[in-house]
């Protein structure tokens, strides 16, 4: 993943690493800790259009089934198919190898409404 632009975080515990017109999306380390052992990840179809804050998939763990929300609007460009065979990658490395989708952002300015790392850490303390 490119680290040219800072990672941004949503209040629903997704992260996005912007890279030009695209962004790589996953769940935060905090979210995977709350979920426990991940057993299944359900993805959208490549080409699907999502809006910021809209559900794009589900993640199932031994504790719960949780919805996944798009941090920005755009078109699903790719999904991490490795997670279909090895969903535990989300627990092992949620903020790198355990990424979920790559999205072609239709409104990159939506990144401005997301939190930086310091703000997300403060949000977790609340």
Q: Is residue 89 part of a domain?
A: yes
**What confidence tier does 13 reach under pLDDT thresholds 50, 70, 90?**
very high
Cα dihedral 39, 120, 103, 31, rounded to 10, equals 0
Average pLDDT across the chain, whole number: 95
Q: Is residue 5 part of a domain?
A: no
Q: Is residue 94 part of a domain?
A: yes
Supply the range of the domain harboring residue 61. Answer: 11-120
CATH code for the domain of 100:
2.40.50.100
pLDDT in tens, 51-72: 999 999 999 998 899 999 999 9
Residues 6+ apart with CB under 8 A from 80: 43, 89, 98, 99, 100, 101
Q: Is residue 1 part of a domain?
A: no
Q: Is residue 110 part of a domain?
A: yes
> Into how many domains does the chain fold?
1
Q: Is residue 113 part of a domain?
A: yes
Q: Is residue 125 part of a domain?
A: no
- On whether the pTM is more than 0.85, the answer is yes
pLDDT in tens, 68-92: 999 999 999 999 999 999 999 999 9
């Amino acid at each position: 993943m490119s680290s040219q632009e800072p990672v941004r975080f949503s209040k629903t515990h997704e992260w996005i690493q912007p890279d030009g017109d695209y962004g790589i999306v996953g769940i935060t380390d905090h979210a995977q800790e709350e979920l426990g052992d991940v057993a299944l990840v359900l993805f959208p179809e490549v080409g699907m259009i999502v809006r910021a804050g809209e559900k794009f998939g589900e993640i199932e763990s031994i504790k719960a089934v949780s919805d996944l929300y798009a941090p920005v609007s755009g078109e699903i460009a790719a999904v991490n198919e490795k997670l279909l065979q090895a969903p535990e990658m989300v627990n092992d490395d949620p903020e790198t190898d355990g990424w979920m989708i790559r999205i072609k952002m239709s409104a990159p300015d939506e990144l401005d409404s997301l939190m930086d790392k310091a703000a997300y850490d403060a949000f977790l303390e609340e």
